[in-house]
Structure 1
Amino acid sequence: MMLKTAARAGALPELLADAPPGIRFLSLDCFDTLIWRNVNAPVDVFAELAIPGGGMEARIWAEQKARKIAPFQGGQAEVTIDQIYASMMPEASEADRQAAIEAELDAEARHCFAFAPVRDLILDAKRRGLQVIIVSDTYLSEPRLRQLIARAAGHALAGMIDRIFCSCDYGVSKAGGLFPHVLQALGASPSAILHVGDNKIADQDAPAKLGIHSVHFEQFDADAEQRLRFEAVAASIIEPATRITLPACQPHRAQVSLRVAQDAASALGHDVLGPMMHSFAHWIRHEAAAMEARLGKPVKLLFLLRDGHLPMQAFNALFPDMKGRAIAVEISRFTAGAASFTDEAAITRYVTPELATAPLPVIARQLLFTRDEVAKLTRDYDPFAFAEKLREPANQRKILSRSREAAQRLFAHLGRCGVAQGDAVMLVDLGYNGSVQNLVEPVLRSGMELDVAGRYLLLRENFRSGLDKAGLFDVRHYDFKMLDSLAGAIAVVEQLCTLAQGSVVDYKPNGAPVRSAMGMKNAQSESRDRAQAASLDFIVSIGAGVVSAPASDDVDARRRMAAAILARLLFLPQESEVAMFGDFHHDVNLGTRETLKILDPDAATLGLRRRGVFYAKNAMRIHLSGELQRHGLPFNLSIFGTKRFGLDLRKTDFDVGAMALPVLLMDSVGGHAATTIDAHPTAEGYYRALVPIGAGRYTVGLQLGQLFDWVQIEETSFHYVDEFMTSQANENAMAASPILEGMEQASADLYRCEGAHGFMMAPPPMIAEAGRAMLFSLVFRPVVTRAQAQFQQKAA
C-alpha cells in the first residue's frame, strides 16, 4: 500500500504499516501532534500568567517584539523563551525573569498531555527498531522541551525519544530550513525519515521538498475545527474572565479528533451533546452523594421524561454501578400541575400569572375541567369573567376533588417506578426554571413524605422558590443575564435529549402513564437517535486519546467547557446543524397537541427584510440564531452579545445609511403636504420607510419615479404606533391597497416607473381604531435608480 499524505487521528497507530522500505527514523512534530494542550489555542495557556491586565496580550506582544528585533541582534529568525522574557521584562533581574519563565513552564505542564494515538505510533516504531526524533518549531530549548514532554507524557514515553531538534536552537523554523540541520545531525538520507505533524506547510511541504517522507496529521475536520474556535468565542462572551485570567479549556479536544462518523447528527451528538451530558452526569453523581451524606439515606435519581431521557442514558453509561438508582419517571408540567391544586390558594397561585398570557382554554384544561366545561367557562374569552367563574364554590370543589385524584394517580405512578413512602429523591431535568418541582414538591412531601431536591443542567429561577434546587449552570457561576440568554433557546437541547413518545397527560389508577399522541416527524426522530447514540459513544470512551489527563482537566474546567458548548450551539450554530434542525418541531407540553417549528429561516429572512436587524430584539422565536445563520456571523454575534449583556440598543442606533424618499401626505378635504422620509437599510439590499399618518387621517403618496426606474416592493402595510416595536406588530399589521399612477407592475413585486412622475398612493385602512395613531410602512429594494437609467441612456 502507498503511504498516505494525510491522516486522521485514528489512522496514526498503523501509519508505519504502509511506510516505504528503508525508513529508519520516525520524526514527529511536538505540539498538537505528540503533545497537546487542554486549551483552544496555544496562547490560552498565557492567561494563567500573573501579569497585570492579563497574561495573553503581554506575552504575545513580548514574543512579537523579540522576533522583530532578533534578526538585528543575532541574525536569526527564531527566538528563545529567554529572549522573549528579556523583551517583556527588560528592567527585571535575571532571577526574576527565570522565575517568570518557570511559571510559564509550570502553566504549560499543567495543561499539556500526550496524545494516545501518537504514543501508539511511537511504540510501533520502537517495535520495528526505528529511532524516534522530535522536530519542533518552539522557543523552548532541547533540554526544556524534553523536560516538558516528560512532565506531560511521563518519563517512560519521553525516554523513547532519541533526539530532539528545536527551531530556537538552530535559529530557523521547519519551513525556513531546520530539516537540513536534522539530516546533517542524523547523517541520514531524506528517504530514511518519515515525518508526521499537524502543520501542512511546516510538517509536510517543507520536508517533502527535501525528499523526506511526510504525512500531514489532520487534527479535525473543518466543521469541528470551527466549532472548537466558536466554543472559545462563546466562553469569552459568557464568562468575560476567559482569555484574561482563565484559559479557554477544552478537555474534549482529543475525543473530537478521534470521531469517525461525519454526518451532521453524529457529529453534533459526539462533539456537542457528549461533553455536555458527561459533565452533567458527573455533577449529578456528586450532588447525589452530597445529598445522601446530608440526609443519611440513599437518594433515588428521578430523571423526568421526556427531556431527562438522554441525561439518564448518559448517567447509566458513565456510572453502570448506579444503574438501579437512576429511575425514569414521567411527570410533565401538565400532570404536575394537575396534582398541585391542594387548596384555593394553590389554584390562585397558578391562575393569576397565567391569565395575562395563556389562552383561557389551556388554563381551564390544566384545572382539570372537561371539554364541555372548558367550552362554557371560556365562551366569552374574557379573563376577568373567567376568573370570577373559577371562584364559584362548585368549580373550586371540582378542581380540588379532581386534583386529589390526580395526585393519587401520580403517587401510583411513582410507586410503580420504585419510589416508596419516605424516600429521598432527586428530580433530574434539563431545566430551566424547575416548574415541575415547584408544582409537585409540596404534594410529594405531604402525600408520600419524600425528601425532594431538584438538579438541572441549567437553572434560571425567575423567582426564589426556596426549594432545594441547583444547576450545573446557575447563579453560583453566572449572572441572570447570561442564564436567561441560554434559557431562551433551550428547547433546541430539549428536542435533542427527548424520548420518542408523547408527553404524559395523566395516569391510570395503577400508575401507568397516559400519553398524548406523538407528533414528531420521522426525520426528527432519526436525527435525534443518531445524535443520542453518538453522545453515548463519547461518554463510554471518555479519556480516549489522552495518555494521562492534564492537571487542568478538572470539574470546573469541564463545567466551563460545557457552558461554552451550549452557548455556541444556541447562538453560533453551524450550517449543517441548522439544516438538521429544519426538520425539528417542539411540542408545547401543556396538555395540547400544539407543536412549533424549532426554526423557520424563511420567516426570519422575511423579518429581516421588513423590519431590519432590530427585528431580532423583539422576535419571539425558538431558535432565532439558527434562523439567521444563513445571513452571516455578524447578526448572530450581535444577538449573542445583546442578549448576554442586556445591552441598551435601540432601533435608532441601527438606522444608518438612510435614503431620502419624497412623500406627499393628503387629507380627506384635499389638503396636502410634500416632505421627505428617511428610508433605512434593513437586509439584503432592502430599505424601510415609515410614514406617520395620524389616526388613519392621511393618504400617503410615494413619489418613487423621482428615484427609481425599476423598484421591487416587498411590503406595504399599516401599523399602530403604540405596538410597532412589540411582538404584536406583525400580528396586527394591515395590508395596504396601493393605487399606481405612472407605474407598471411587471411581476408580483417588481415595478417599472414610466418616468419621474411614477407614483404610488396608499389610502388609510378603513378598519383602523378611532384615536390610535398609525404609520405606513413601505419595504422596497432599488433595482435600477433614475440616475442609473439616465446614465445608461446617455451611454447608449
Structure 2
Amino acid sequence: MTNAVVASEIPTLVEQQAEAPDILSLDCFDTLIWRNVNMPVDIFHDLDIPGANMEMRVRAENRARKALILNSDSSEVTIKDIYSNMFRDADETVVSECIAKELQAEARHCFAFSPVCDLIRDAKKRGMKVIIVSDTYLPEPLLRQLISDAAGNEILDMIDQIFCSCEYGASKSAGLFKHVLAELGVSPHKILHLGDNKKADQEAPEKLGVRGIHFRQFDEEAEERLRLEANASTLLESDSRRDSPVFQPHRAAISLRNNDDTVFQFGHDVLGPVFQGFSQWVADEADALEESSGKKPKLLFMLRDGFLPAQAFLKAFPDRAEDVSMVEISRFTANAASFSSKAAIKSYLMSEATGNKDDAYSQQRQAAYCRQLLFFDNEIRTLAKIRKPEDFVREVLKTKNVKKITARSKKFAGRLCAHMRQAGVENGDTIMFVDLGYNGSAQNVVEPVLNEAMNLTIAGRYLLLRELMITGLDKKGLIDHRHYDNSALNAMCESIAVLEQLSTQAQGSVLGYEDDGTPRRDSADIKGRQSDAREQAQAACLSYMDDPECGWETVPRSWNGDCARRMAAASLTRLLFLPVRREVGIFESFHHDVNLGTRDMVRLVDPQAAAKGIRRRGLFYTKNTTRIYLPGELQQQGMQALLPNFASNRFALDLRQKDFQAEALTLPVVLADDKEHVQVDIEAHPTSDGYYQALIPAGMGSYNIAVMIGQVCDWLQIDDVSFHEVDNFSAKKLDDDTIPAYPVFESVVEKAPGLLACTAPDAFIMIPPSSISTGGQMMLSLVFRPTILRETSAATLKEVA
C-alpha cells in the first residue's frame, strides 16, 4: 500500500485502503484550500493595510515567533500575535481590522481543490467523519470562515471538526496529532490523513500509528518550472512583487496532469497557460470590438503561426466557431500586395534592402528581395548581380521597374482579396487579425490594400506586440506597451522564434494565390522529429485547453483578464529566458525557416556553438551575439549564464566586456619582429569551465609571439589559437573573422589527447606571424585551461583575487 499519491489518485483514496478508516483527516492549505499564487507570502502583497507591505508582514510573524521563547506552553503563534507585532504600539481595534483585511486577501485568492472535495464527498457517502488538521496561525473560527469563503458552505458543512495548531500550541510535527487522538478518542489506525508536507502529514502521524499519506502536488520538473516562472514574472514585471502577488492559476491543472512524457509535459504545462491567457483575451477583445463598432468581428487567425492559437481558441470557446476563420497571409504576401506606388516600393527598400556596402548579409539576400518585389526569374538573375545596395535600390526605382512592380502587385492584391472572400470576409466587414505578433508588420502593409478594395474595418490582436513605428492602426497585444516597458518587449522578441516553431503547422509558407484565392505555398517543409514533437506539444496544449479550470472546485475571485495575462506572460518569459534541460532537448532537432520566400533554415538550438562561444569569449559573448534561441543554448551553462543574459536584455543594461572579467592570470609574452623584441605581461581572464583567454597584440600581423607558458602552468589544455582583426573582434563577431594560427611548442609535450605538460620552466608556445594580411591591426587569441598551475602563478592569482 502506497504512502504517497498524486492529485489524480485523491478522489479514490479511501477505496484504495486495505482497511476502511472511520475518519478522514485533511491538511488545509495546499491540500483542500489552494491559493492562486506561487508562494503563501505572495498574498501579503495584496493586504489593504495603509503603510504595510509584504516584508513588514513577514517580519511581524518572525518577531512573534521569536517571542515564543518566553512561552514554554506553546510553539505556535496566532494571527493576533502577528499583527500585535506589526505596530510599535498595538491597538486592539487596529489589530482586529488588520486580521479582517488579511482574511479578505486570502479569500480573494483561495479556491477549493476539486479532487479533495470529491474525496470528502466520497468519505461522507461511506459514513466517515471528516476533520481538518492544519498548521496555521488562524484559530478555528477564522479558518472555518476562510474555508466557507473559498470552498462554499457545502464543503464546510461536511467538515465535522477542525484542529488548528495555534490553538493547541503545537504543530503537526511537534505533537498536534496527540491532541487530535485524545479529543477524538479513537484508535490511530482508524484515521486516514492526507497532506502535502511529507514530514508533517506523513511521517509525524505515522509515528503515532495514524495512516499518513503524502500528497505530491507536482513532479520535480513542474515544481522547477513554477518556481522559475515566479522569478521570470518578478523580473519581467519589476514592480509586481511590491504591487500584487505572482499569480499562478494553472497550478491545479498542472498538478492533475497525468502524463510524464517530456513533450506532453511541455505542451500542457507551458503552452497551455500561454494560450489560455491569449484565448481569454482575444475573446474579451472581440466582445469589446463588437460593442464599439456595432458589428460582430470575424476573427481571422493568420497562418502559419496562428495555427495553434486558432485551435486553442476554438477549444476554449467552441460556441464562437462560426466567427473564426484561418487566412494565409505571410509577411511575403502582405508586402507583395502593397506595392501600389513608387513611394511604397521605396519604403520597403529602405527598411529591408539597404545597408553597409560591405554587408555580406544584404548581398546574400539580394535575390530574395527581388522575389519579394515580384520580379521574374530572368529579371532576378540580372538584378541579383548588383552587389552594392545603393545601386540595387536605384535600379529598382527606375520607372520601367516601378511600372512592372505596381502592375504585378495590383494583380497580386486582387488574388489576396479573393483569398479573404474564401475565408468568408465580405465587403464592409469588421475583422480582427489574430497572430503571435510581434510588430504587426503584415497588418501595416496589407490594411490599406484591404481598406481600398473591400472597405474593411480592421483590428490586429497579437500575443506579443512591440511596434517599431507609430502606425495609428488599431493594434493591441496581450503583452504590449500598456503593461510592459520597451526593454521588456524587446527582450521577449529576441528568442520568440521558439514559440513560432511550436505554433505553426507542417506546411510551407504561402507565397501567392490562385485567381480564386487558393494559396500557393512554398514546398519547403520541416518534417521528421520536428513535426512529430511539434504536433505532440500542440496536442498536449489542447488537452490543457479542454478544461483550463481543471482542479478548481470554486473559481478564485482574483481570476480575471489581468490574472490570465500575467500567467501567460510569466509562462512565456520563463520559456524564453529560463528554460529547463528536458524542454531544451525537444528543440535540439528543430530548424527555423526564415520565411522570406527562401528555403533558408537555421538551427533553433546549437548548444555546442554556445559552449564554444562562452569558452572563447566568456559571458560577454551572450550580450550581442545573434542566435535564434540563445537561452536554450545557455541552459547547459546554468543560472550563472542564464540570469545575466536575462537581466541584461530585460533591462537593456550597458554591460561591457571588462564587467565580466574576474581574477586574471599573468602571462609573460615575448613579441619580436626583424628589428627588435620586447617582453610584456598579458592578462588572461577566465571565460568558462576553467578556461582563460589571453588577447595578445600582433601589430599588423608581423610579430613572432612567444607565450612563456611554462612560467604559468605545469599542465594545460588549449582550446583555440587564432588571429583576429581588432576591429572585428571588438564588434563581438565569432569565427567569421578568424585567421588560423600555427603554434610551435618548445618543451611542451602532449601526454594524453589534448592534455599538454610543460617539461621545463622555460617552456613556451611560439606563434609565427599570420600568413594572411588584412591591412589592419591584428591580435592573437589564446584560449587555454591551466589544469595545474605552477606554484608561483597560483600564489600570484590568489593575490590578484
TM bin, normalised by shorter chain, reads over 0.9
Query: What is the CA–CA distance in structure 2 between the aligned matches of 1:375 and 1:767, rounded to whole Å?
Result: 33
> How many angstroms does 1:745 deviate by?
4.3
Q: What is the match of residue 524 of structure 2?
A: 518
Residue range with higher mean Cα deviation, 126-135 or 371-380: 371-380
Partner of 1:730: 735
Number of matched residues? 787
3-state SS, counterpart of residue 195 of structure 1: strand
Checking the alignment, whether the CA contact within 8 Å between 1:709 and 1:789 is kept in structure 2 is no
Kept in 2: contact 1:54–1:244 (CA 8 A):
no
Which among 759, 774, 778 is matched to residue 774 of structure 1? 778
Going from structure 1 to structure 2, the CA distance change for 1:380 and 1:743 (only over 3 Å counts) comes to farther
Match of 2:254 in 1: 256
Report whether the alignment pairs 1:543 with 2:549. yes
Distance (whole Å) between structure 2 residues aligned to residue 727 and residue 682 of structure 1: 15
Q: Tell me the equivalent position of 2:477.
A: 471
**Cα drift, residue 103 of structure 1:** 0.6
- Aligned-partner residue type, residue 128 of structure 1: R
Local SS of the residue matching 2:85: helix
- Which digits, 9 at most, give the CA deviation of each residue in 1:424-467, with x for residues without a partner? 21111000111111121111111222211111000001111221
The answer for the alignment partner of 1:786 in structure 2 is: 790
The CA distance in 2 between the partners of 1:426 and 1:469, in whole Å, is: 10
Looking at structure 1, the residues matched to 552 and 294 of structure 2 have their Cα atoms a distance apart, in angstroms, of 37
Aligned residue for 1:588?
A: 594
Query: SS where residue 14 of structure 2 aligns?
Result: helix
Distance in structure 2 (CA, Å) of the matches to 1:170 and 1:608: 57
Match of 1:627 among 615, 633, 645: 633
Answer whether contact 1:620 1:727 (CA < 8 A) is retained. no
Residue of structure 1 equivalent to 2:242: 244
Contact map agreement 2:665 2:793 (CA 8 A) in 1: no
Determine the structure 1 residue equivalent to 2:293.
295
Counterpart AA for 2:494: G
- Which whole-Å CA distance do the structure 2 matches of 1:312 and 1:170 have between them? 55
Partner-residue secondary structure (3-state), 1:471: strand
1:783 positional shift: 2.1
- Specify the alignment match of 2:186 in structure 1: 188
326-335 or 47-56: bigger deviation: 47-56
Structure 2 gaps, min length 5: 356-360, 796-801
Deviation at 1:398, TM superposition (A): 1.6
Q: Return 623-632 or 196-205, whichever deviates more.
A: 623-632
* Alpha-carbon offset, residue 705 of structure 1: 1.6
Please tell me the residue identity of whatever aligns with 1:757.
Answer: D
Q: Deviations for 1:177-213, whole angstroms, at most 9, x for unmatched residues?
A: 1101100000011011000000000000000111111
Query: Aligned partners of 2:414 and 2:666: how far apart in 1?
Result: 69
Taking structure 2 as the reference length, the TM-score comes to: 0.96
Q: Which moved more, 1:432-441 or 1:366-375?
A: 366-375
After superposition, the C-alpha distances for 1:321-367 in whole angstroms (9 at most, x for unaligned) are 21121111111111111111110000000001221264222211211
User: Which residue number corresponds to residue 532 of structure 1?
Assistant: 538
Partners of 2:336 and 2:386 in 1: how far apart? 24
1:178-327 residue pairs with structure 2 within 5 A? Answer: 178-327=176-325
Report how far residue 789 of structure 1 moved: 12
Q: Choose which of 135, 138, 141 in structure 2 pairs with 1:140.
A: 138
- CA deviation after TM superposition for structure 1 residue 22, in Å: 4.9
- Find the counterpart in structure 1 of residue 417 from structure 2: 411
- The whole-number CA distance in structure 2 between the counterparts of 1:52 and 1:719 is 61
User: Contact (CA 8 Å) 1:500, 1:518: kept in 2 or not?
Assistant: no
Superposed displacement of residue 768, structure 1: 2.7
Rounded Cα–Cα distance in structure 1 between residues aligned with 2:551 and 2:721: 59
Supply the AA of the counterpart residue of 1:412: A
Q: Is the 8 A contact 2:26 2:195 kept in 1?
A: yes
The 3-state SS of whatever aligns with 2:43 is helix
TM alignment of 1:340-359, pairs within 5 A: 340-354=338-352, 355-356=354-355, 358=362, 359=365
> Are the equivalent residues in 2 in contact too, given 1:501–1:518 (CA < 8 A)?
yes
DSSP 3-state at the match of 1:278: helix
Contact kept in structure 1, 2:438 and 2:465, CA below 8 Å? yes
Letter in 1 for 2:789: T
Is the CA contact 2:301–2:327 (under 8 Å) kept in the aligned structure 1? yes
Q: Which of 375, 382, 386 is the aligned partner of 2:381?
A: 375
SS at match of 2:698: strand
The match for 2:107 is: 109
Residues 506 and 527, structure 2, Cα contact 8 Å, conserved in 1: no
C-alpha distance in structure 1 between counterparts of 2:773 and 2:557, whole Å:
68
**Alignment partner for residue 41 of structure 2, among 40, 43, 56?**
43
Q: How does 1:538-687 map to 2 (within 5 A)?
A: 538-667=544-673, 669-687=674-692
Structure 1 residue 753 displacement after superposition = 2.5
Note the C-alpha offset of 1:386.
1.0
Distance 1:587 1:520 in 2: 9
- 1:688 partner SS: strand
Instruction: Give how far 1:68 is off.
Output: 1.3
SS at match of 1:120: helix
Q: 1:380 and 1:695, CA in 2 relative to 1: closer, same or farther beyond 3 A? A: farther
Query: 1:46-98 deviations in whole A, cap 9, x for unaligned?
Result: 01124677622111111111111113135311111111111121413110111
1:461 aligns with 2:467: yes
Are 1:392 and 2:383 matched, yes or no? no
SS at 1:244's partner residue?
helix
Letter matched to residue 264 of structure 2: S
Aligned to 1:128: 126
Letter in 1 for 2:491: S
* SS in structure 2 of the partner of residue 85 of structure 1: helix
Structure 1's 591 and 747: CA in aligned 2 closer, same or farther, altered over 3 A? farther
Amino acid at match of 1:777: S
From 393, 404, 407, the equivalent of 1:401 is: 407
The amino acid of 2:308's aligned partner reads L
Q: Tell which deviates more after alignment, 603-612 or 367-376.
A: 367-376
Q: 2:765 aligns with which of 755, 760, 767?
A: 760
Question: 1:242, CA displacement in angstroms?
Answer: 1.9
State whether structure 2 residue 337 is matched by structure 1 residue 339.
yes
- Residues 49 and 101 of structure 2 are in contact (CA less than 8 Å); yes or no, is this contact kept in structure 1? no
Contact 1:524 1:584 in 2 (8 A): yes
CA contact (8 A) 2:280 2:564 kept: no
CA contact (8 A) 1:39 1:251 kept: yes
Structure 1 contact 700–762 (Cα < 8 Å) conserved: yes
Q: Residue 175 of structure 2: SS of its match in structure 1?
A: helix
- Assess if the C-alpha contact under 8 Å between 2:711 and 2:763 holds in 1: yes
- Residue aligned with 1:340, SS: coil
Tell me the residue number matched to 1:794. none
Question: Aligned-pair distance for 1:764?
Answer: 3.1
| Residue 79 (structure 2) aligns with | 81
For 1:96, give the aligned amino acid: V
* AA matched with 1:343: S
Instruction: Give 1:375 shift.
Output: 2.1
Equivalent position to 1:447, from 414, 439, 453:
453
SS at match of 1:88: coil
CA apart distance, 1:746: 5.0
Per the alignment, do residues 22 and 401 of structure 1 end up closer, same or farther by CA in structure 2, a change over 3 Å counting?
closer
Counterpart residue type for residue 475 of structure 1: H
Q: CA deviation at 1:369?
A: 1.5
In the superposition, the TM-score normalised over structure 1's length comes to 0.96
| Residue 401 of structure 1, CA deviation | 1.6
**Offset, 1:372:** 2.6
Q: Residues 385 and 790 (structure 1 numbering): CA distance in 2 closer, same or farther, change over 3 Å? A: closer
Code of the residue aligned with 2:445 in structure 1: it is L
The one-letter amino acid of 1:632's match is G
